[in-house]
Structure 1
Amino acid sequence: MESMLNKLKSTVTKVTADVTSAVMGNPVTREFDVGRHIASGGNALAWKIFNGTKKSTKQEVAVFVFDKKLIDKYQKFEKDQIIDSLKRGVQQLTRLRHPRLLTVQHPLEESRDCLAFCTEPVCASLANVLGSWDNLPSPLPADIKEYKLYDVETKYGLLQVSEGLSFLHSSVKMVHGNITPENIILNKSGAWKIMGFDFCIQSTNPSEQEPKFPCKEWDPNLPSLCLPNPEYLAPEYILSVSCETASDMYSLGAVTYAVFNKGKPIFEVNKQDIYKSFSRQLDQLSRLNSSTLQNIPEEVRDHVKLLLNVAPAVRPDADQMTKIPFFDDVGAMTLQYFDSLFQRDNLQKSQFFKGLPKVLPKLPKRVIIQRILPCLTSEFVNPDMVPFVLPNVLLIAEECTKEEYVRLILPDLGPVFKQQEPIQILLIFLQKMDLLLTKTPPDEIKNSVLPMVYRALEAPSIQIQELCLNIIPTFANLIDYPSMKNSLIPRIKNACLQTSSLAVRVNSLVCLGKILEYLDKWFVLDDILPFLQQIPSKEPAVLMGILG
């Protein structure tokens, strides 16, 4: 046991030392606490990605750190070239704002040992998820090792990258220049975001004219971090020293190929003799056959073939790619709708939430928990939406383990349990009472769930009282005896004596009759029987109930 503890202690110390040595002294640490090393990303996976939190607000972030020790082997002037290239990439990303680009929360800071900046919370880079594990901690984080991309995530992810490129090409008049799995980051909720603007090219023409992109010749003498990844680079960069927005579309085709081929690029490039490599690649591209693309889904295969075409003019543009039928998938469209939820009014949202129970069973559980559940629970602040959102949240709860329910769903349900308006909230909870009582911990049942049942028995609405009385017997076996005896029974008796509704009175008696088996004999003799004599009305239905 002691050796185990020492081992754990040394691991924790090593991780802390690793973070501290790299980031210590960087101005980022004044405002942010840096946590665990979780992933790597950016060109050649050179950036280590850590969990972090903002000290003042406790807001979650990701901290990207480039450790200068990585480039110790280079000459001073080469080191400067590398640092300048990395800085340029982050500064461009900081300037650009779009839902499909990685959001920077704190700009780049430099210290003697590292570069660092903060972004929205992230999960990993696409390259990590596809099996490229450079610059990752050892042992490898289990969530990266076991990460499985589902079809719906791949479809929607590629659509998100296409939308990001459409923004860059049309609105910013910019070529990204290095679209690769390393530069596609999966944020905490699984959305695909573009980063890595180290080699982006801005149009030199005024905005109203046809964009013109100046292109530099490939220089094999530069350090590899000062060059884009040639395995995803369009052939015209190397062979005719030219580029345009269609060059990024070739890279998108190469990324699509890699996603469906376990991260393997379509061509291996010999960086020592790049021109020969690309001439051979050009030849293979002009004879691209179906067997090379066999792992790519049939409905997108032809589009990928067009993206990988030697002639830039033949490749579809980013806007055309966003409209292909491959992305008209019910799951992908559902995720897309969630991303645009803030633009919708209550009527549109309510229609969408009503149809959601039909879609949820078709989606993988991790995608539901990671992408959909946080969007649903964020709607709880809007009381009018709760009756439409709550059935979906409880449907997800049914598929969760008890531990997942307590960790992911219960904290958000707490305030909803206390809401009295609109009245449908109470009805929905009453209909799902067996779920709540089997998955909620005893303390929380006592403090939140049962008080809701008591409120329903005391509600002014006859309909709610009736529903509650009808449902109580179905979960009575799950209620602890003291609560039953001291809180529930007195309220049922009260409902029976105080009401002016015959239906409520009869249902109170029927309800009591059904839960008698959970009460001890003396309590029935001392408490229930004397109560029956106090019932004021003598209608046949009530007498039948009393006799029953």
Structure 2
Amino acid sequence: MAFLSGFVKSGLSLLGKDASAFPYTIGPKVEWYENQSIWSLHRGTKKEDNSEVSIFTFDVVKNRNMVQLAKHAYKKMRTLRHPDLLRFLDGVENDQAIMIVTDAVEPLSDQLKQNADKNLTLWGLYKIASAIKFINNDCGMVHGNVRISSIFTNKAGEWKLGGFELLDSMKEESPMIMTFGGMIPDANRYASPEIKKSGWTVIKDLPTSATDSFQLGCLIYETYNGHMDSTDKLMSTRGDIPSKMQNVYKLLLTTSPKARIDSERFLDEGLRPQGFFSNEFIQVNLFLENITIKDQSEKDVFFRKLDNVIETFPQEFSIHKILPELINAFEFGAGGPKVLSSIIKVGGHLPDEEYVKVVIPCIIRMYAAPDRGIRMALLEMLPSYVDRLTKKIVNDQIFPHVALGFTDGVPMIREQTIKGILLLVPLLSDRVINYDLLKYLAKLQMDEEPGIRTNTTICLGKIAKHLNAATQKKVLVPAFARSLKDGFHHARIAGLMALNATAEYYDAQDCATRIIPCISLVLLDKEKPVRTQAFKTLDVFIKRVSVFADAMPDTAIVETVASPQVTEGGPGGPGTFARSNSASAAAAGVAGVLGEATKGFAGWAVTSIATRVSSICAHCSITSVLSNDFCMS
């Protein structure tokens, strides 16, 4: 912390009295960068929201001879805007320091040292050429400082052109590059042949693009081959420059300034069929950047294709570049359900905190959309993002929209909603589960579609553990008993399976008086799979009742022993006592006879059922028509 504090104090000391008003915290410095530039580069944060920024600082007092360059760069950065230029956010200029605040970036050399992805490198060259085209052709200016040290990468790894110290129009009375061109670090190393021969003033007589085109050629060389000691190597050693790019590369470096191609020609050649920019990665990015002018059929084809290739792209690029473009496309109705899959795939790489900020709001807005296709896609992909949802979000913002699917006129939506709710139930509140959800499921048990009735029964069986005890007792048996009377035999099987799976929630009385009688109704069902499942389920409940019965006392009769009294006649006399004894003996006799008479019957009945169940369990099996990922087992 002391090390970091030193950087902060050092940076703020440059501002003098303006330090307290500066709305950014200056962090660590990129130590080696100031050897290549007139600026010091610091990481920083915005005090208001702690968002990351980069801060370029220039010490006016220590670098008097470079002040004009720093002031010029500050002025140009404030006024010049383009997606491929380093973006100016804020700045301070006083007699002690000049500070420029930009998006959070790193020097390009960091990316190149780390064996950069080939797609990122190609896309980076495309973006720099696009920036140069804007400066030369649209603004009529010369950049004059195109090199690795003037290029930065954002969080996506995308290249941004900075280094505006020399950027100026040749129509100015005294353009910066003509006066100060040689003062930039390593200026001569990147100077074109005509500048080395005639000096910086020659630029005013050259085509506007000539100087920057030559420097673009130097950039290509160093991008693929590393440090360039001298421009003499440019034409003799091409190294790892892609073969498709080499002809155009030579045209950028030709010794005749008027024969050099400009950056627009470089882009056109690269985008030709089979050109060096003609690959999937670049085509995807170009489409996304121009998606607002594409028609719907083109968008549909694009998003289908994107879903198949998105996972092959660099992860950081997909997160910070493609994901925002996809979310933006959805916001403006350019993708519908087809864009969701790609959003979920890319968003899955985000940490939870970022996921909640970036992806969850998009998902919530999708649930609120009336488009059935979006609703279906959300439900189908629910397993991919349900773990990122919180109970509050589900109960307050998602379930009210999901619940609309239970009453949707399209059967597929109703069915998918039933399947989806199984994943959301653990996040739902007790009130929503035991009241709102069960109300919808009760209606769906009478749905006109037999498959929906079947899956509703299965759903009830699976969510039973989330119901409170009172609701379990009140709802489950009637619901499953109803399914046993369904005309669709798969619904009857589902009811039996649900009873089996929820057996632990029923007491002995329910098992004996409500459930076993219901099961007995389908023991002789016309469909064998139903009969087979009925005997399996009956066996479970017979055994369960047997356990309860074995734990019961032998009798509920409370025996009372009367005190012997001998009286002469009347109530309580010897006659009464004798008659009472006789009645007891008779009752005992009858009980004994009945016991002997029913012993064989009862034993036969139980043995028969047990044998039947045992036989079926040993030799029969059931094949469920339900999908494996949606069964009761």
Shorter-chain TM-score: which interval?
Answer: 0.7 to 0.9
Q: Does 1:124 align with 2:106?
A: yes
- 1:128-169 Cα offsets, whole Å, 9 max, x none, are 5446xxxxxxxxxxxxxxx66321121111111111222222
TM superposition shift of 1:485: 5.9
The match for 2:86 is 102
The separation in 1 between residues aligned to 2:146 and 2:365, in whole angstroms, is 44
The match for 1:360 is 310
The separation in 2 between residues aligned to 1:367 and 1:41, in whole angstroms, is 27
Q: Does 1:32 align with 2:15?
A: no
The separation in 1 between residues aligned to 2:444 and 2:407, in whole angstroms, is 11
- 1:24-63 Cα offsets, whole Å, 9 max, x none, are 4348x746333434655896152424434385x9987544
SS class of match (1:36): strand
- Pair 1:421–1:35, CA change in 2 (3 A): farther
TM superposition shift of 1:463: 2.5
Q: Does 1:468 align with 2:417?
A: yes
RMSD: 4.0
The separation in 2 between residues aligned to 1:52 and 1:341, in whole angstroms, is 32
The separation in 1 between residues aligned to 2:247 and 2:44, in whole angstroms, is 40
TM superposition shift of 1:329: 1.8
TM superposition shift of 1:535: 7.0
The one of 315, 323, 331 equivalent to 1:373 is 323
The one of 66, 84, 93 equivalent to 2:58 is 66
Tell me the TM-score normalised to structure 1 length.
Answer: 0.74
List gaps (5 residues or longer) in structure 1: 1-7, 72-78, 132-146, 207-211, 269-280
TM superposition shift of 1:190: 3.7
The separation in 1 between residues aligned to 2:181 and 2:313, in whole angstroms, is 47
SS class of match (2:82): coil
The separation in 1 between residues aligned to 2:380 and 2:4, in whole angstroms, is 47
- Preserved CA contact (<8 Å) 1:496 1:505: yes
- Pair 1:128–1:180, CA change in 2 (3 A): same
SS class of match (1:97): coil
The one of 5, 12, 20 equivalent to 1:20 is 12
Q: Does 1:267 align with 2:229?
A: yes
The separation in 1 between residues aligned to 2:354 and 2:197, in whole angstroms, is 56
The separation in 1 between residues aligned to 2:219 and 2:437, in whole angstroms, is 65
Structure number with greater Rg is 2
Letter aligned with residue 335 of structure 1: N
- Preserved CA contact (<8 Å) 2:445 2:457: no
- Pair 1:535–1:13, CA change in 2 (3 A): same
The match for 2:478 is 530
SS class of match (1:48): strand
- Preserved CA contact (<8 Å) 2:156 2:318: no
The separation in 2 between residues aligned to 1:498 and 1:219, in whole angstroms, is 83
Equivalent residues in 2 for 1:413-452, closer than 5 Å: 413=362, 415-416=364-365, 418-440=367-389, 444=393
- Percent identity between the two aligned chains: 19
Letter aligned with residue 210 of structure 2: A
- Preserved CA contact (<8 Å) 1:178 1:199: yes
The separation in 1 between residues aligned to 2:295 and 2:165, in whole angstroms, is 39
- Preserved CA contact (<8 Å) 1:476 1:515: no
The separation in 1 between residues aligned to 2:149 and 2:177, in whole angstroms, is 22
- Preserved CA contact (<8 Å) 2:434 2:468: no
- Preserved CA contact (<8 Å) 2:23 2:47: yes
- Pair 1:130–1:384, CA change in 2 (3 A): closer
The match for 2:246 is 301
SS class of match (1:117): strand
The one of 233, 241, 246 equivalent to 2:191 is 233
Equivalent residues in 2 for 1:334-413, closer than 5 Å: 334-344=284-294, 348-382=298-332, 385-398=335-348, 400=349, 403=352, 406=355, 409-413=358-362
Letter aligned with residue 436 of structure 1: Y
Equivalent residues in 2 for 1:83-94, closer than 5 Å: 83-94=67-78
The separation in 1 between residues aligned to 2:292 and 2:341, in whole angstroms, is 20
Letter aligned with residue 496 of structure 1: L
- Preserved CA contact (<8 Å) 1:331 1:363: yes
- 1:476-532 Cα offsets, whole Å, 9 max, x none, are 897689689636861453233564544432332243356668889997665311234
- Preserved CA contact (<8 Å) 1:163 1:322: yes
List gaps (5 residues or longer) in structure 2: 498-633
The separation in 1 between residues aligned to 2:447 and 2:181, in whole angstroms, is 88
- Preserved CA contact (<8 Å) 1:309 1:315: yes
Equivalent residues in 2 for 1:76-87, closer than 5 Å: 79=64, 81-87=65-71
Equivalent residues in 2 for 1:212-291, closer than 5 Å: 216=178, 224-225=183-184, 229-241=187-199, 242-243=202-203, 244=206, 245-262=209-226, 264=227, 266-268=228-230, 281-282=231-232, 288-289=235-236
SS class of match (1:258): helix
- Preserved CA contact (<8 Å) 1:26 1:114: no
TM superposition shift of 1:357: 0.7
The match for 2:122 is 155
- 1:433-469 Cα offsets, whole Å, 9 max, x none, are 2222334456655555655554433445432111223
The match for 1:181 is 148
TM superposition shift of 1:17: 1.6
TM superposition shift of 1:313: 3.8
TM superposition shift of 1:369: 0.8
- Pair 1:236–1:364, CA change in 2 (3 A): same
SS class of match (1:197): coil
- 1:303-336 Cα offsets, whole Å, 9 max, x none, are 3333333333443221111122111121022222
Q: Does 1:317 align with 2:267?
A: no
Letter aligned with residue 390 of structure 1: L
The match for 2:506 is none
The match for 1:135 is none
Letter aligned with residue 487 of structure 2: E
- Preserved CA contact (<8 Å) 1:98 1:164: yes
- Preserved CA contact (<8 Å) 2:88 2:101: yes
Tell me the TM-score normalised to structure 2 length.
Answer: 0.65
- Preserved CA contact (<8 Å) 1:109 1:116: yes
Letter aligned with residue 453 of structure 2: R
The one of 46, 50, 59 equivalent to 1:53 is 46
The separation in 2 between residues aligned to 1:124 and 1:110, in whole angstroms, is 23
The separation in 2 between residues aligned to 1:320 and 1:219, in whole angstroms, is 26
Letter aligned with residue 309 of structure 1: T
- Pair 1:347–1:90, CA change in 2 (3 A): farther
The match for 2:598 is none
